[in-house]
Chains A and B, each alone.
Chain A
Amino acid sequence: MTRLPHLLAASLAALMLAGCAAQPATPGGGSDAPTIDLLVRDSHLRVAGEPCSAARPHQYIHRGAVLVLEHGSDRISVELPDGEAVHIDDIDYGAAPRIPTACRFRVAAPGLDPDLDYAVTIDGRSAGDYRYDADEAAPIAVPPLADPGAILETGDR
């Protein structure tokens, strides 16, 4: 009899936790999962280093959008974090706070196989093919690069 309020309280607490808690799919990957970059080359004016999302016409690429790499039945799905505004050239823009940038999303992709070509989709839209190379660490570029091995002025890579 006296246990009833406790049971009710416990039930309510469980309901609150279960019913109200968000269930986000977070970017996957353990500490040793390969890290890859998604580089949106939109040349948008931003403050380098600030969080970003892709600018028009790539506005569907933003925090929470899902990046999928598929090869046959292999499927790696990662939710994008915030992007980071990175330099796209080495021009000195002086004191201008906002400079031409790309928006780079850095994600861990557990299970990525360097021997496979993956079909890439972002938010359900095709973003070409991608093969991971730990040495070159080329990004997934949007729009794609004519030469995937081209040197990009993207800061720390």
Chain B
Amino acid sequence: MSSIPRAALVGGLLVTALLFGGCTPQERGGEDRLPGPLPEGVTFEASPSAPKAPSIDAELVDGTPVAGDLLWGDRPAVLQFTTAWCTRCDEQQPVLDGISRDYGDAVTVALVAGDPSEDRDLLLEHLEELGVGQPVIVDPDLRVWRSYAVDEPPMTALVDADGRLVKLWPGGADEAKLRTELDRIVQRTGG
């Protein structure tokens, strides 16, 4: 094989890789983003006076069925109601990233995206652009949104490990207040 056809072949492969790897967003927000096993030495403060959180029966972006028990059940959960076009949601993503980083598997952090199904590709592109590392629930018919009384994104919900709705922050949680609540709930007893 002469060097020119070989170069052309290499070039073709590179082009293919770019078109199908570099430009096509990898799907974020799927099952592999759910938290791992609960860390040892972590317990959770109950909020017995809080009402039960509305149940969730939905899917992640990759089609994984997701229910409330999967999200909170054995640990608290922070739910962020969002869309691809919501500027203030984007602004709050670093807050969620910080919570995910600092609390690790002790807390579930998940997005609930209210984008309509015809905008799914836009949502996936946006998750990629934003580098979202959390699981993302798709809620194209706004069923979960409505059960949590979301009128406009962003809104943040904090559910404790017993499935009780501790706080709702319309407009999105202030980072300090969210951390204060989480620090109250998450007790680290281990070294």
A positions within 8 Å CB-CB of B: 1, 4-5, 8, 11-12, 15-16, 19-20, 42, 44-47, 50-56, 59, 62-64, 82, 98
A8/B152 in contact, CB under 8 A = no
Measured CA separation A4–B9 after assembly (Å): 12
A54/B85 in contact, CB under 8 A = no
In the complex, B130 has a CB within 8 A of chain A: no
A8/B11 in contact, CB under 8 A = yes
Contacts of A54 in B (CB 8 A): 152
Q: What 19 additional pairs, Cβ within 8 angstroms, besides A50-B171, A59-B114?
A: A4-B4, A8-B14, A11-B11, A12-B14, A12-B15, A15-B15, A15-B18, A19-B19, A42-B151, A44-B151, A51-B87, A51-B88, A52-B152, A53-B153, A56-B151, A59-B151, A62-B85, A63-B87, A98-B170
B4/A47 in contact, CB under 8 A = no
A46/B15 in contact, CB under 8 A = no
Mark each residue of chain B from 13 to 35: 1 if its CB lies under 8 Å from any CB of chain A, else 0.
01100110011000000000000
* Given A4-B4, A46-B171, A62-B83: A56 and B18 interface contact (C-beta under 8 Å): no
* Given A44-B151, A44-B152: A19 and B18 interface contact (C-beta under 8 Å): yes
* Given A12-B18, A51-B87: A98 and B11 interface contact (C-beta under 8 Å): no
Contacts of A55 in B (CB 8 A): 151-152
Interface size class of B (residues with CB under 8 A): 20 to 34
Contacts of B151 in A (CB 8 A): 42, 44, 55-56, 59
In the complex, B86 has a CB within 8 A of chain A: yes
Contacts of A47 in B (CB 8 A): 171
Contacts of B1 in A (CB 8 A): none
Mark each residue of chain B from 139 to 157: 1 if its CB lies under 8 Å from any CB of chain A, else 0.
0001000000001110000
B15/A82 in contact, CB under 8 A = no
In the complex, B7 has a CB within 8 A of chain A: yes
* Residue of B87, B88, B152, B171 most packed against chain A (CB within 10 A): B152
Q: Nearest-CB distance from B126 to chain A (Å)?
A: 11
B23/A20 in contact, CB under 8 A = yes
